[in-house]
Chain A
Amino acid sequence: MADAALPVESLAAELGAIVGARHVLTRPSTLLAYESDALPGYHKRPRLAVFPGSQDELVAVVRRLAKDGLPFVARGAGTGLSGGALADDAVLIGVQRLRRIIAIDAEARTATVEPGVVNATLTRAAAAFGLHYAPDPSSQAACTLGGNVAENAGGPHCLKYGVTLNHVLRAHVVLPDGELVTLDRGDQGGYDLLGAFVGSEGCFGIATELTLKLTPNPEAVLTMLADFTSVAAAAEATSRMIAAGIVPAALELMDQATIRAVEESIYAAGYPIDAAAVLLVEVDGPRAGLEADANAVSEICRAAGAREVKRASDAAAREKLWQGRKKAFGAMGRVAPHLVVQDAVVPRTQLAALLNDIASIGERHGVRVCNVFHAGDGNLHPNIPYDANDADESARVHAAMQQIMTRCIDAGGTITGEHGVGLDKLPYMERLFTADTLDAMCTLRETFDPARRANPGKVVPLHSCREWNGLPALRGGASS
Chain B
Amino acid sequence: MNTEEMRSGLDACVHCGFCLPACPTYLALDDENDSPRGRLVLMRALLDGQVAPDDPDVAKHLDQCLGCRGCETACPSGVPYGRLLEGTRERQRAQAPLPFVARLVLAVFAREWLLRPALAVARIARGLGLARLATRVAPHALRMPAAMLATTARKAVAEYSPRGDGSRGRTALLTGCVMEGLLPALNRASERVLAENDFQIVEAKGQVCCGALHAHAGDTGTARDLARRNIAAFEASGAEFVAMNSAGCGAMCREYGQLLAQDPAWAARAAAFSAKVRDVSELLAVAGPKPTTPDATHPTLVAWDAPCHLQHAQRVVDPPLQLLRAIGDVRLVPLVDSAQCCGSAGIYGLVQPEVASRVLAPKLARIHESGARVVATANPGCLMQIGSGLLLEGSTVQARHPVELLDAAYARARQTD
Which A residues lie at the B interface, using CB under 8 A?
23, 25, 27-30, 32-40, 51, 77-79, 94, 96-97, 118, 120-121, 139, 141-143, 262, 264-267, 327-334, 336-339, 387
Contact = CB atoms under 8 A, between A and B. Distances in A.
19 contacts: A25-B31, A25-B33, A29-B58, A32-B50, A38-B16, A40-B14, A77-B17, A79-B16, A121-B21, A141-B18, A327-B18, A327-B76, A329-B76, A330-B14, A330-B18, A330-B76, A333-B13, A334-B12, A337-B11
A80 to B, nearest CB: 9
Given A27-B57, A33-B33, A329 B45 contact: no
B20 interface: yes
Nearest to B26: A96
A337 B12 contact: yes
B33 A118 contact: no
Contacts of B15: 36-40, 78
B42 A267 contact: no
B76 A265 contact: yes
Interface string B57-68: 110010000000
Interface in B72-105: 73-79
Given A33-B37, A34-B32, A266-B78, A338 B14 contact: yes
B75 A330 contact: yes
B41 interface: yes
A78 B76 CA distance: 17
B76 A266 contact: yes
A33 B76 contact: no
Contact of B33 (A30, A97, A338): A30
A265 B30 contact: no
A30 B79 contact: no
B55 interface: yes
Nearest to B51: A29
Given A23-B30, A34-B32, A139-B18, A29 B55 contact: yes
Contacts of A32: 41-42, 45, 50-51
B297 to A, nearest CB: 31
A337 B14 contact: yes
Nearest to A36: B15
Given A77-B17, A94-B30, A333-B14, 4 more contacts: A23-B30, A29-B51, A121-B21, A142-B16
Contact of B12 (A36, A143, A333, A387): A333
Contacts of A34: 32
Contacts of B50: 32
B30 A97 contact: yes
B79 A333 contact: yes
B57 A332 contact: no
A187 B321 CA distance: 53
B42 A29 contact: yes
A328 B76 contact: yes
A34 B37 CA distance: 10
Contacts of A338: 14
A30 B16 CA distance: 19
Nearest to A265: B76
A38 B32 contact: no
A96 B35 CA distance: 12
A19 to B, nearest CB: 11
B42 A33 contact: yes
B38 interface: yes
Given A32-B41, A32-B45, A51 B76 contact: no
A329 B77 CA distance: 9
Nearest to B50: A32
Contacts of A267: 76
A281 B308 CA distance: 35
B77 A333 contact: yes
A334 B12 CA distance: 6
Contacts of B41: 32-33, 35-36
A264 B20 contact: no
A435 B57 CA distance: 47
A78 B17 CA distance: 7
Nearest to A323: B76
B12 A266 contact: no
Contacts of A121: 21
Contacts of A330: 14, 16, 18, 75-77
Given A30-B33, A30-B57, A266 B75 contact: yes
A33 B32 contact: yes
Contacts of A139: 16-18
B32 A331 contact: no
A142 B18 contact: yes
Contacts of B11: 333, 336-337, 387
Contact of B17 (A142, A264, A333): A142
B361 to A, nearest CB: 15
Contacts of B32: 33-34, 78, 94, 96
A139 B30 CA distance: 19
B42 A77 contact: no
Contacts of B19: 142
Contacts of A33: 32-33, 35, 37-38, 41-42
